[in-house]
Amino acid sequence: MHLSPRGQRTEHLVKALKHHGHVERIGEKNIPQWLAGDGERTRSSWYRRFARTLMSHVLIDKYEIAARQSLRRWSPKIDAAVLVGYPCSPLPFAAHKLVRYDIPYIVDIGDPWILTNPYPEGGRFQRWRAARLERKLWTSARGLIVTTQGQGDALRRLFPHLHVLVRPNGYNSSETKGGSSQPTFTEIPGKELRLVHYGSLYGARVNFADIFKQLAGSGKWDKITLRQYGPDWEGALESVADGVKVDCRAPISWAEVLAEAHTFHAAIVIGWQNPAQMPSKTVQYLTLPIPRIAMVNSGSADALAVYVADKPGWAVIDDENRLAPEIIASHLSRPWRQVDLQAPESESWDAVEHALGDFVVDVTAMQSVDS
């Protein structure tokens, strides 16, 4: 199984659609060497500057050239299509071909691109190009699949004709621990708080540094340790290093995660600064045999806070709450058992697959040959 949330989602979507007919999958090509920074030519400083300028101000992402090349000669002979992004560049070019052949399509997008993104990246010309392409994409689309209600509402306001399915990722049922009544973690000597975060850190996040500052200054724990599995691309955790020991490590498989989870008191999810976004890893956290802590935006519209509100084992800390130490201490003082943390079946990939497949068939009026 692909490790990235978007890769997993694509694989499960393909599996769901195979129940309704033959599926042709077209993936993005690799980034060209001359653009990715590989090979002998990158040793030239002028070349590196040129590539960075091209990426920062012209191309909508690193995949645009490869996407154009791979789709140029594509002659779709299909009844319907689902365009899955990120990356986003293949989507508008594929949509252009589909419109020409009068083929209905749905777009499944994980994060806001440009039109509904409060924190767009790139230069002015790059954003103008991306917005122009995205507008054409949504104008001709039949439907939209997103992971949060906020994303769906934002796009429906601009394109009222879209049918919308809000469906976060799922978890693998085979990776749950069952309903044991035993305690979830081993007792850790001393007054140490051991937290863990799984997945890459990048982009604009909630003010988690202030939350950790509160924890470190509360006096409730002699030591606070945060284990980070995955890259911290922008050095975001450096802001908490004064009061928290940060232990950065390479990513590990989810089987390894489950095997060692009992050595931590809780797992944290750090929400996006854009309240309409939700970290994809949130759903997989439901399979953890330890409590979970969501760090979210203040207010009632945060997608992460809304999602975990009725899920087992979660404490929610917003980045303006001054009672973070008390909330976390109270949450962890409960004698949690695995049976108390059991993931709801409605969030499994089996349930998500059915929802995705049925939505595509209904909205595109595709003739299903369900086996």
Model pLDDT for residues 64-82, shown as the tens digit of each residue: 888 888 888 889 999 999 9
User: What's the chain's average pLDDT?
Assistant: 88
Secondary structure (DSSP) of 63-98: THHHHHHHHHT-----S-EEEEESS-THHHHHHHHH
d(CA 215, CA 66) in angstroms, rounded, equals: 47
pLDDT given at position 120: 87
Taking Cα atoms as reference points, which of 88, 135, 94 lies closest to residue 111? 88
Cβ count within 10 A of residue 198:
21
Distances, alpha carbon 65 to alpha carbons 15, 182, 190, 249, in Å: 29, 54, 56, 34
Alpha carbons 289 and 304: distance in angstroms, whole number: 20
Contacts of 60 (CB under 8 A, 6+ apart): 88, 89, 122, 126, 129, 130, 133
Read off the pLDDT of residues 311-325 as tens digits, 9 standing for 90 and up: 999 999 998 988 999
Which residues, 6 or more positions from 272, have their beta carbon under 8 angstroms from its beta carbon? 203, 204, 205, 206, 278, 279, 304
Q: pLDDT at residue 294 above 90?
A: yes
10 Å CB burial of residue 172 (0-12, 13-18, 19+) is middle
Question: 296: how many CB neighbours lie within 10 A of its CB?
Answer: 26
Global confidence as pTM: 0.86
pLDDT at res. 369: 55
User: What order do you get walking across the sheet with 223-229 strand by strand?
Assistant: 245-249, 223-229, 192-198, 266-270, 292-296, 314-318
CA distance linking residue 235 with residue 239, whole number of Å: 8
Number of DSSP helices (H) and strands (E) in the chain, helices first: 13, 10
pLDDT of residue 8: 86
Distance between CA atoms of 288 and 157, rounded to whole angstroms? 37
Pick the closest to residue 60 from 8, 3, 136, 7 (CA basis): 136
Q: Assess contact for 295 and 180: CB atoms under 8 A.
A: no
The domain covering 174-345 belongs, at the CATH homologous superfamily level, to: Glycogen Phosphorylase B; (3.40.50.2000)
Q: Terminus-to-terminus CA distance in the chain, angstroms?
A: 24
The pLDDT of residue 267 is above 60: yes
Quote the pLDDT of residue 338.
86
Q: What is the DSSP string of 322-355?
A: TTHHHHHHHHHHS--BGGGGPPPGGGBHHHHHHH
Per-residue model confidence as pLDDT tens digits over 101-144: 999 999 999 889 999 999 888 888 989 999 999 999 999 999 99
Which option is the CATH number for 5-170+348-364: 1.10.1760, 3.30.70, 3.40.50, 2.60.120?
3.40.50
Where in the sequence of the chain do the CATH 3.40.50.2000 domains occur? 174-345
Peptide bond into 87 cis (omega under 30): yes
pLDDT for the residue 371: 43
Residue 370 or 300, more confident? 300
Percent of the chain with pLDDT over 70: 86
pLDDT above 90 as % of the chain: 66
- Which span out of 107-111, 159-163, 240-244, 337-341 was modeled with the highest average pLDDT? 159-163
